């Protein structure tokens, strides 16, 4: 009962704050401080109806002032909503709703980041974000040059190389994937972190794709020394050993 009362009081207090912020906004609808204060309060509860009001306020501000940051914030709120729907569908175990929510999120993010790259052409971080979405959309020929440009940013260089390597892998360009991933591994300072393990895993997958079985087994072997339960590595090692074992058995039987 105490917790419920606290929640009701908190909700009532937030409504009061929103009402006050709305009065300030209506008195100064083009003032960035009043816009931001009201939007922040409307988004605090993660209530979609309130968030849509915030988006309307930001879109109106963008149209009236042509300040791009208002559009960016409106889009970020929409992305947050779509991410929430993905998460909710996953938690419910609804596979079809989960797939549809992910498709909708990716489609929206592609449009958003295309526009942001056009607006801020020198921002390499935005190029990385667009390249990552292009990869997720399986548009590898578009993703590779975008990520190659974004790789000039030291903060995302290794992540860019991972996605470029994966693009090459998906296209069946295994030699190029191997070279890209090896170079990234050599320049990565913490080999056992999540990014380092990702690089090793996709290097092994590319080596496996190129039929470099001994190299793949060595790379997978390094991974299980770091993390014995990493992804499907143990199964892949077992599967790669199995053909040679079968060949040996056949030779013995012969």
Residue 248 has pLDDT above 50, yes or no: no
> 60, 41, 61, 37: which is closest to 51 by C-alpha?
41
Q: Distance between CA atoms of 54 and 62, rounded to whole angstroms?
A: 12
State the pLDDT at residue 251. 43
Pick the closest to residue 167 from 199, 143, 198, 196 (CA basis). 143
pLDDT at 245: 43
Confidence (pLDDT) at 78: 98
Overall average pLDDT of the 138-160 stretch:
97
- Separation of alpha carbons 249 and 115, rounded Å: 60
Q: Say if residue 174's pLDDT is above 50.
A: yes
Window from 16-20, 84-88, 121-125, 140-144 with minimum mean pLDDT: 16-20
Give percent of the chain with pLDDT exceeding 70. Answer: 92
Confidence of residue 253 (pLDDT cuts 50, 70, 90): very low
- Residue 222 contacts residue 186 (beta carbons within 8 Å): no
- pLDDT, tens digit, for every residue of 7-28? 455 888 899 999 999 999 999 9
What tokens were used for 32?
A: 């960035």
The pLDDT-based confidence of 2 (bands split at 50, 70, 90) is low
Model confidence over 192-246: pLDDT tens digits?
999 999 999 999 999 999 999 999 999 999 999 999 999 999 999 999 998 654 4
| Mean pLDDT value of segment 177-187 | 97
pTM listed for this prediction: 0.88
More confident residue, 253 or 216: 216
CA distance 89 to 100: 9
For the chain, what is the total number of helices (H) and then of strands (E)?
Answer: 12, 0
Q: Count the neighbouring beta carbons within 10 Å of the beta carbon of residue 135.
A: 21
CB 140 within 8 A of CB 170: yes
């Amino acid at each position: 009962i105490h917790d419920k009362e606290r929640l009701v009081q908190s909700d009532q207090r937030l409504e009061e704050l929103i009402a006050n912020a709305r009065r300030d906004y209506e008195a100064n609808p083009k003032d960035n401080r009043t816009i931001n204060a009201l939007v922040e309060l409307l988004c605090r509860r993660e209530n979609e109806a309130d968030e849509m009001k915030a988006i309307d306020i930001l879109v109106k501000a963008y149209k009236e002032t042509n300040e791009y940051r208002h559009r960016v914030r409106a889009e970020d709120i929409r992305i947050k909503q779509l991410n929430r729907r993905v998460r909710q569908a996953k938690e419910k175990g609804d596979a079809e709703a989960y797939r549809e929510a992910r498709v909708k999120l990716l489609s929206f993010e592609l449009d958003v980041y295309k526009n942001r790259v056009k607006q801020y052409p020198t921002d390499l971080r935005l190029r990385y974000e667009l390249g990552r979405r292009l990869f997720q959309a399986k548009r590898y020929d578009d993703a590779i040059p975008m990520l190659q440009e974004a790789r000039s940013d030291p903060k995302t260089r290794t992540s860019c190389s991972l996605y470029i390597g994966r693009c090459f892998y998906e296209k069946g360009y295994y030699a190029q994937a191997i070279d890209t991933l090896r170079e990234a591994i050599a320049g990565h300072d913490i080999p056992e972190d999540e990014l380092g393990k990702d690089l090793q895993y996709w290097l092994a997958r590319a080596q496996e794709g190129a039929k470099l079985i001994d190299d793949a087994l060595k790379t997978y072997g390094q991974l299980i020394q770091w993390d014995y339960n990493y992804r499907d590595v143990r199964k892949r090692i077992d599967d790669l050993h199995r053909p040679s074992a079968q060949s040996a058995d056949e030779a013995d039987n012969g």
